[in-house]
Each structure stands twice: as structure tokens, then as C-alpha cells.
Structure 1
Amino acid sequence: MRQIVLDTETTGLNPRTGDRIVEVGCVEIFNRKLTGRNLHYYVNPERDSDEAALAVHGLTTEFLSDKPKFHEIAEELREFVKDAEIIIHNAPFDLGFLNHEFERIGLPPFVDHCGGVIDTLVHAKELHPGKRNSLDALCDRYGISNAHRKLHGALLDSELLADVYLAMTRGQNMLSMDVEIEETGGGELLEAGPLGEIIVVSAAADELAEHDAVLAALDKGVKGECVWRKYSPQG
């Protein structure tokens, strides 16, 4: 299965009020292994970033001024994600921007080009209810070093999320409860013959005498017949 871990950075929080994408990072996973094939672009948003957004990603207007505009990278991005399952942390945010950017240049929404979406934030909340499930918190929880993450970056965050996703879903390759028993190993128990005859070893006479003496002492203690007389072979 081909999967793409994706992240974006933006000028603000709402594409409907004019905010745009400033960075896109994608990391490819194939059959649960990182392939080393990534896609990364800084994008000229043709506007300034909000102060709050700038504090998060640090991508200034000056830095982005000579970078390609979104319509210049759209086709390569579309080809890279085509038919792959997309993995995003807090997917509605990134998908809102990507769908908006695609629609601006006359293309079908971004999600129409993919083979489905996994939201790791939703999955993390199911696994760890009531806990912090930010990317940093998940890195700590799964022992993934993010010491080099001083600012948010789309490619860096995609690389971290890829490691988190693989750790978080380890052991979930088979979700079906219909597990077949292999021909070897466990299957050998099913092919074993019937159990042999059960051998019963009776107590010797002196052992029975000692047992009766113990019961007699118990009878004396309760001033009657103790309950163990019901199960005694002498009873």
C-alpha cells in the first residue's frame, strides 16, 4: 500500500478569508516502510503571513517572494499523491487549504485525487483519550526525538508524523478476528491423537490411616462430624 504523510504551513487559519499555503511537505511510505522519496516546496502566497502564523513557521514574506506560486507546483503535487492514502495530523485544516488552492486554479478538490485520508489526530484521541495528542506530545509518547524541531516546518513535521504513525499503528496490520491456524505450529495440536488412558494411583493403607487420624482430630474440634467426612473414601 502506498501512503503519503503530508503537512502544510499557511499564512493564517482560514482560506476563505484569503489565507494561503506557504509550504507543502510530503513523505512516502510503501508497505509500512519509508521509501526516502519526498516532495517539498516553499510557496509564494502572494500575501503576508499573520503575526501568529509567522511565529509558528518563521517563513517571512521576503524569503517566500522568489518561491513558486501554488499553480506552478500543483501538477507535481497532484501526481505525487495520486491514488495514495494521505496521512495528516488534524486533516480538516490542511485539506481545507489544499481543496481551496486546487479550486482556485480550476482543478477538482485535492481529496478527489487521493485514495483516502487518515487523520492521525482522530486516531490518537481514540488510543489516548483525555491525553495531549499534539505532534510533540505523540513524539514524546512514542520515543521519537523532535529536539531539532524549533519551528514548525511542513517537511520536518511530515517526517516526524511518519515515524509517529508507524509507531502508533504497529501491530495493526491484521485487524480481522478470523485468524486461520497455520499448518505448522498451532495446527499440530489439532492433528494430535486422543489422550492416553488416565492412570489413577490409590492411597496406601498407611496413608489412609493417617488421613483418618486427621479427620478424627477435626471431628473432635467441632464436636461432631467435620465436613471433610463427606469426601473421605472411608465415609
Structure 2
Amino acid sequence: MREVIFDTETTGLDPKTGDRMVEIGCIEMIDRVETGRTFHAYFNPDRDMPVEAERVHGLSAAFLATKPRFAELADELLEFLGDAPLVAHNAGFDFGFLNNELELAGRAAISMERMVDTVAIARRKHPGAKLSLDALCTRYGIDRSHRVKHGALLDAELLAQVYVELTGGRQIGLGLAPGDAVPTLVATSVTNVPWHRPSADRPRREPRPHVASPEELERHRAFIAGITDAIWAS
């Protein structure tokens, strides 16, 4: 199954009050395994950057002024997203900004039915625990030492690892080929496993004898008799 893990950076907390998305980072996964395909872009928000927001992600208005506007890359982004489920941490926030930008660009909103919220998954799995991305990275031993500030692609990469752990661990995605389906574990009685049955290309062999011959027994007795100071003779 194809999924896209994504994260956004913004000018603030609420698109309804004029805040804009300024960065998006997306990671493609198939059967919980990263494929190496990514989408990453910065956007010119056509507005100032509040100091509080810049402290979080380090993106200044001057840096973003040279970047394309969202509408210029909307089709490329939508092509990458396709019809896959979209995974984000506190996903309602990211969906709100993404759909706001799509609306401003004259594109249809993405259905909330495609939303997968890792905060909700973590809350069910670890009730009462801290649910931030940093806290979950610590819980699962995921290295985030290179994360000095928030960054959409970096955070999406960390979230992809967290998502795998939240949904069953790394072995869930192991397969022989990229197209292999995620296996379903089924309890099977050993009496149903035909390991003992011969086939046309593997003829039945008579069982090998495993009882010692009289000659072998005599050699064994002679060997035991030659042991001095045996503990069983004391």
C-alpha cells in the first residue's frame, strides 16, 4: 500500500487569520518502507514572517521572497500525493493549511478521509504519555541529533520512522520485492504443514538407523573402562 508522510511549516497557527504555509516535505512509503521518492518545496507567502514562527523553523521573509508561490507548484505536489493516504503528526493542523493553499490556488480540497493522524495513533497506543514528535523519537530510539530547528522534510523523515514503530515495528514492511504485500500472520496447525510428504522430485527415503551396533557398544565399553579416576566410580 502506498502512503505519503508529510509535514508543513507555516507563518503561524491559523490559516483563517491569514497565516500561510511556507514549506512542505513529503516522503513516499510503500508497505511501510521508504521508497526514496520525496517532494520538498518552499513557498513565498506574500506576507511577513512573525518572529515567533521564524524562531521555530528559521525561515525568514527575505529567504522566502525568492521562492515560488504555492499555486506554481500545486499541480506537481498533487501529482506526487496522488490518491494515497496522507500521514501527518497532528494532521488536522497540516491538512488545514494544505487545503487553505489549495483553495487559494483554485484547486479542490483534499478529503479529510485520507487523513492519518499519528498523534491519535500514539494516544491510543501510549495513553497518558507525551505525544510530541521529539518524545516519540526518544521512546523509539530514533536519532534526531541533527534536528536543530523544525524543517518540513526532516520532520517528515523522522515521522516516517515513528509511524513504522507505531504501526507494528520495522518487520511489518519486510518483503522480497517492492510490490510484496504486507504479510498477514495466520495461526497454522503443524499437522497441516506437509514437510514430511514425498514428492515426485524428492522420492521417499528409508529412515536411517540410529541404534548403536554391537561393535560400537563394545568400543564404548572399552573406552569407559580406560578412564581413570572416573567420578561415577567413587
Does TM-score exceed 0.5, indicating one fold?
Answer: yes
Q: Match for residue 208 of structure 2?
A: none
CA distance in 1, matches of 2:51, 2:84: 34
CA distance in 2, matches of 1:186, 1:59: 63
CA distance in 1, matches of 2:106, 2:26: 23
Contact kept? 1:27, 1:159, Cα under 8 Å: yes
Q: Match for residue 103 of structure 1?
A: 103
CA distance in 2, matches of 1:179, 1:141: 26
Question: Which stretches in structure 2 are left out of the alignment for 5+ residues?
Answer: 173-183, 194-234
User: Paired residues, what number?
Assistant: 183
CA distance in 2, matches of 1:110, 1:93: 13
Superposition map of 1:14-25 within 5 A:
14-25=14-25
Secondary structure at 1:110 match in 2:
coil
CA distance in 2, matches of 1:147, 1:3: 26
Q: Match for residue 51 of structure 1?
A: 51
Q: Match for residue 123 of structure 1?
A: 121
Q: CA RMSD in A?
A: 2.2
Secondary structure at 2:157 match in 1:
helix
Contact kept? 1:95, 1:111, Cα under 8 Å: no
Contact kept? 1:99, 1:111, Cα under 8 Å: no
Q: Match for residue 137 of structure 1?
A: 135
Q: Match for residue 30 of structure 1?
A: 30
Instruction: Answer with 1 or 2: which has the greater Rg.
Output: 1
Shift of residue 167 of structure 1? 1.4
Contact kept? 1:142, 1:168, Cα under 8 Å: no
% same residue: 51
Q: Match for residue 167 of structure 1?
A: 165
Q: Match for residue 72 of structure 1?
A: 72
Secondary structure at 2:122 match in 1:
helix
Shift of residue 155 of structure 1? 0.1
CA distance in 2, matches of 1:81, 1:136: 25
Superposition map of 1:77-226 within 5 A:
77-111=77-111, 116-170=114-168, 180-182=186-188, 185=190, 187=192
- After superposition, the C-alpha distances for 1:129-178 in whole angstroms (9 at most, x for unaligned) are 111110000000000000111100000000000001011212696xxxx9
Shift of residue 186 of structure 1? 6.1
CA distance in 1, matches of 2:79, 2:111: 13
CA distance in 1, matches of 2:167, 2:100: 30
1:29 partner letter: M
- After superposition, the C-alpha distances for 1:100-141 in whole angstroms (9 at most, x for unaligned) are 1111121111337xx722100010011111111100000000
1:69 partner letter: R
CA distance in 2, matches of 1:32, 1:186: 33
Q: Match for residue 191 of structure 1?
A: none
Contact kept? 1:181, 1:187, Cα under 8 Å: no
- After superposition, the C-alpha distances for 1:166-210 in whole angstroms (9 at most, x for unaligned) are 11212696xxxx975447x3635xxxxxxxxxxxxxxxxxxxxxx
Question: Which stretches in structure 1 are left out of the alignment for 5+ residues?
Answer: 189-235
Q: For the structure 1 residues 143 and 186, does the alpha-carbon distance in structure 2 shift closer, same or farther, using more than 3 Å as the test?
A: farther
Q: Match for residue 192 of structure 1?
A: none
Contact kept? 1:7, 1:157, Cα under 8 Å: yes
CA distance in 1, matches of 2:185, 2:54: 51
